């Protein structure tokens, strides 16, 4: 039996993650994601993904070029997104119907995919199958899929274990090792160690922070930063506007908790916030809407913002997107008066995120900050910790799982190079059992 790994998207770039693992004459697709900076520029140019062909989306760089796995198409038994982030799950509406296979993922991810399909009125024939983390399903003669619970900046993130008769492959794309998450379960270290009994053929590892010589701090640290700012600065007369990633429910929970401590009602503004909160509530992970107002759509947002004029500013906290300076985000619209909100001197704007380091985001974010400074608001930046493993976490993960081979994923060539030096420190050899791959390459993990 041959076991072959083929990277499709996210190798040599950060985004549009997708890979294929072939096990004999069967195969499984891991992740099917979007390339977010391209989505942003496409939207800004007035494009609509629904009205262009799949090949055009590929050529524009929005979705992975899955033509490199065309000859394996008939082998695919399942499509398994590892978590609900756009760059891992939301190319499903455009690519999944090409394969006669169910989409299998945890409830949160399936809910987000359903919402995306509904929003864009796209129908796909694939069955959407929920599988809880820390459980498994046999999808074909030779493949069993197990979702192992892990921590990340999205709830219910999984490391996907692909069990075959010749050993296990672990797909660990986007994760951190956080033993004290604010919400959700801890990493299932026990199961990872159990699997790491010498039978792991390969691990595919999130390498975006392979240069960062540390252990990524727990989400608890970001919570403490928010606490210091929200409860420890003078803001009793002023507005608080907090931005974070819509999908970061753990972070959102901290902002809500401290708002309530200040006797301020949390008001969520924007469609993406609403989507992720609704999905998390449907999955029984949060009850945010019982303490907060959630206003998703344009006209309703305008109405709600007008109502603020008659309310004292210490009665509410606005929570919205805009940390990347995106022109269509609520914060930007409030600043350019597309939405009726008046920033006042010494209002507090909290950025509970980090700017994703691509040019368009850096420029957009700088513009937003400049405008905020003109309005003399107080800016609190970088109230954030990453959702990705750092170099020393990677080392622990590899030690824990004892794979015969390691493959970096989700990174550019310098990130992969840095991962390679870590692997060499751990006695892996480039080209022999550490594979620095690019989209469309192939590597045989087992043959006889």
| Interaction pattern, residues 82-101, with Zn ion; x per rule: CB under 5 A | ---x----------------
Q: Output the smallest distance, CB 150 to Zn ion, in A.
A: 11
Among residues 13, 26, 111, 174, which is the contact residue for Zn ion, using CB under 5 A? 174
If the CB atoms of residues 160 and 230 are measured against Zn ion, the closer one turns out to be 160
If the CB atoms of residues 113 and 318 are measured against Zn ion, the closer one turns out to be 113
With CB under 5 A as the contact rule, which of the stretches 169-177, 286-294, 344-352, 392-400 interacts with Zn ion?
169-177
Q: Output the smallest distance, CB 386 to Zn ion, in A.
A: 11
Q: Output the smallest distance, CB 159 to Zn ion, in A.
A: 12
With CB under 5 A as the contact rule, which of the stretches 95-103, 133-141, 167-175, 410-418 interacts with Zn ion?
167-175
Q: Output the smallest distance, CB 85 to Zn ion, in A.
A: 4
If the CB atoms of residues 176 and 264 are measured against Zn ion, the closer one turns out to be 176
Kindly tell me the sign of the dihedral angle through the C-alpha atoms of 216, 218, 221, 222.
Answer: positive
Q: Output the smallest distance, CB 354 to Zn ion, in A.
A: 13
Whether the Cβ atoms of residue 358 and residue 326 lie closer than 8 Å to each other: no
If the CB atoms of residues 85 and 313 are measured against Zn ion, the closer one turns out to be 85
With CB under 5 A as the contact rule, which of the stretches 171-179, 327-335, 416-424, 438-446 interacts with Zn ion?
171-179
If the CB atoms of residues 66 and 85 are measured against Zn ion, the closer one turns out to be 85
If the CB atoms of residues 14 and 143 are measured against Zn ion, the closer one turns out to be 14
Tokens of 203: 């691990």
| Interaction pattern, residues 43-82, with Zn ion; x per rule: CB under 5 A | ----------------------------------------
Which residues, 387 to 426, sit near Zn ion by CB under 5 A?
Answer: none
Tokens of 329: 């985000």
If the CB atoms of residues 103 and 368 are measured against Zn ion, the closer one turns out to be 103
Q: Output the smallest distance, CB 330 to Zn ion, in A.
A: 22
Which residues, 293 to 332, sit near Zn ion by CB under 5 A?
Answer: none
If the CB atoms of residues 172 and 405 are measured against Zn ion, the closer one turns out to be 172
# chain residues binding Zn ion, by CB under 5 A: 2
If the CB atoms of residues 150 and 318 are measured against Zn ion, the closer one turns out to be 150
Q: Output the smallest distance, CB 160 to Zn ion, in A.
A: 13
Nearest CA-CA partner of 206 in 409, 21, 399 = 409
If the CB atoms of residues 112 and 139 are measured against Zn ion, the closer one turns out to be 112
Those residues with Cβ within 8 angstroms of residue 232's Cβ, 6 or more apart along the chain or in another chain:
none
Q: Output the smallest distance, CB 216 to Zn ion, in A.
A: 13
| Interaction pattern, residues 124-163, with Zn ion; x per rule: CB under 5 A | ----------------------------------------
Instruction: Give me the residues that bind Zn ion (CB under 5 A), please.
Output: 85, 174
């Amino acid at each position: 039996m041959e076991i072959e790994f083929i990277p499709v998207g996210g190798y040599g770039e950060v985004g549009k993650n997708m890979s294929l693992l072939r096990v004999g004459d069967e195969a499984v697709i891991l992740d099917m994601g979007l390339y977010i900076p391209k989505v942003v520029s496409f939207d800004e140019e007035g494009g609509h993904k629904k009205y262009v062909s799949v090949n055009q989306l590929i050529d524009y760089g929005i979705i992975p070029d899955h033509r490199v796995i065309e000859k394996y198409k008939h082998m695919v038994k399942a499509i398994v997104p590892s978590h609900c982030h756009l760059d891992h799950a939301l190319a499903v509406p455009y690519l999944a119907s090409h394969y006669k296979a169910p989409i299998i993922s945890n409830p949160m991810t399936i809910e987000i995919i359903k919402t995306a399909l509904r929003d864009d009125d796209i129908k796909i024939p694939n069955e959407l199958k929920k599988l809880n983390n820390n459980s498994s399903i046999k999808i074909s003669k030779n493949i069993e899929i197990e979702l192992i619970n892990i921590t990340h900046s999205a709830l219910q993130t999984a490391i996907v274990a692909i069990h075959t008769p010749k050993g296990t492959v672990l797909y660990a794309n986007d994760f951190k090792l956080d033993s004290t998450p604010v919400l959700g379960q801890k990493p299932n270290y026990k199961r990872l160690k159990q699997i790491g009994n010498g039978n792991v053929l390969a691990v595919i590892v999130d390498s975006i922070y392979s240069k960062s010589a540390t252990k990524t701090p727990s989400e608890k640290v970001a919570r403490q930063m928010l606490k210091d700012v929200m409860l420890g600065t003078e803001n009793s007369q002023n507005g608080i506007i907090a931005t974070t990633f819509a999908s970061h429910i753990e972070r959102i929970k901290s902002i809500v908790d401290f708002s309530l401590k200040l006797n301020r009602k949390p008001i969520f503004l924007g469609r993406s916030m609403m989507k992720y909160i609704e999905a998390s509530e449907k999955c029984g992970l949060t009850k945010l809407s019982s303490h907060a107002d959630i206003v998703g759509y344009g006209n309703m947002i305008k109405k709600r913002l007008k109502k603020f004029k008659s309310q004292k500013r210490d009665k509410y906290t606005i929570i919205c997107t805009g940390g990347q300076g995106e022109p269509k985000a609520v914060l930007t619209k409030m600043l350019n008066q597309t939405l009726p909100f008046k920033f006042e001197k010494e209002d507090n704007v909290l950025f509970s995120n980090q700017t994703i380091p691509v040019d368009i985001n850096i420029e957009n974010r700088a513009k937003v900050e400049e405008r905020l400074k003109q309005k003399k608001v107080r800016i609190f930046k970088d109230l954030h910790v990453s959702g990705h493993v750092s170099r020393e976490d990677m080392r622990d993960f590899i030690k824990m799982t004892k794979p015969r081979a390691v493959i970096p994923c989700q990174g550019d060539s310098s990130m992969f190079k840095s991962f390679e030096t870590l692997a060499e420190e751990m006695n892996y050899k480039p080209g022999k059992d550490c594979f620095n791959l690019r989209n469309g390459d192939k590597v045989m993990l087992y043959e006889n």
